[in-house]
Amino acid sequence: MQFNGIKQISEALKSKAISVQELHDFYQAKVEKHAQNLNCLINKTPQLAQQQIKQAQSLINSGSGNLLTGIPLVHKDLFCTKGIKTTCGSRMLENFVAPYDATVVDNLNQAGMVTVAKANMDEFAMGSSNENSYFGAVKNPWDLNRVPGGSSGGSAACVAAGLVPVATGSDTGGSIRQPAALCGITGIKPTYGRNSRYGMVAFASSLDQAGVFAKTAEDCALVLSQMCGFDAKDSTSAQVDKEDFSQNLTQPINGMKIGVIPEWMETLPDDIRIQTQQSIDTLKNMGAQLVEIKLPTAHLAVSAYYVIAPAECSSNLSRFDGIRYGRQCDNPKDLNDLYVRSRTEGFGEEVKRRIMVGTWALSAGFYDAYYRKAQKIRRLISEDFARAFAQVDVIAAPVSPEVAFEFNAKKDPVSMYQADIYTIPSSLAGLPCMSIPIGLVDKLPVGLQLIGNNLQESKILNVAHQFQQETDFHHLVAEGFAHE
């Protein structure tokens, strides 16, 4: 049984060629075979899946289902799922059972999608390699000795290995795009505010945004259309109408202006630069017009991000104190001991590091020197993008300065932070952006980043889909996962 996307699966379900239960069993067999080896899942949800399978089949039988009805997926384990553990990859929330569904989860449930499991992730979404999970590192299906990227590495590995056709993720500074690139799949982060953050455990509230992984841009568009929408329960939710992001996929990109950033291309290793340039040339051959642009303050993005994001993390994670939320230490001597030991034992090293950096940056003596200055840089970067989008429709850029690296290769945290050099600028500006596969370097996947202007998800998905009509990189599958 082989499927080439959601539309084909939906047609098979609708025509009764396969039942929702049979579809689930097909993917479940893959989960049982590969999930443990990849360490990509934290918690399976068989009881919930069975309830949703019955509901989905009923919708299909009555003719009231849609394209997503019956489609299996996994959720990154920072989306609250009612009655099921939501751990955020942390010891602090190891036994936290969410009392409600996140809006993103609820939206996909309403479409009739079937939740198979919760995916492994860097603790509280802090990391670029998925080595920071309390539940162990996720492995890249292309090479089990290498990282899948982070923080949504479990979700990306699941889709890359074919365990599910779709997975949710979140992106704060690149946590969808970088794993998508390193695992050879498609992943999109929409405009900040497009997706509700209600029920999505917060890392950095002005940056976090939910998104989706799939093999193709078309599948991403179909799922993202259902995920997005205004939510009164989230004060940062954008008050814009729901949009069908798949509507303009078939538009030719002839005449479209695509921005290229020469400085970014020059800093790439030769083999990745050649692969990236070839993919941009493909867009040119399809009729797009390439325009060189400049983002003069983008080189400051990583520095600004690693002040702003930790500052917000310091504030957001203060609630996990062993009393209001989270794991409580055993036999505390007094209140101070309870706070100190609960947080010391509950949080991993990277989370502690970012809390400390953020608390320091927000302190009275350093607020103006660091946090306020970082916010000013953020504004400058946003203005750079605004000037660029006055000239172009979409920007094409690298995703990562390297292919998937080996475990423990980056012992210095700063070198890990530099992995996000190309993804952070668009995150600080709150723009929609995505990664699409463009081939292999040293038998490992490389991605191309497409960045759109505010609320222009349809435009980058259009470019991605048209690129995927001309190429077959999105069909490449890691050895050992290809013929099942």
C-alpha count within 13 angstroms, C-beta hemisphere, residue 303:
12
Question: How far apart (Å, rounded) are the C-alpha atoms in residues 179 and 254?
Answer: 30
442: which residues sit within 8 A by CB, 6+ positions away? 271, 403
Pairing of β 41-44 and β 209-214 = unpaired
Active site positions, annotated = 76, 151, 175
d(CA 355, CA 292): 39
Indicate the pairing of strand 166-171 with strand 209-214.
Answer: antiparallel
Contacts of 289 (CB under 8 A, 6+ apart): 255, 256, 257, 258
CA-to-CA dists, residue 136 to 33, 177, 423, angstroms? 18, 21, 25
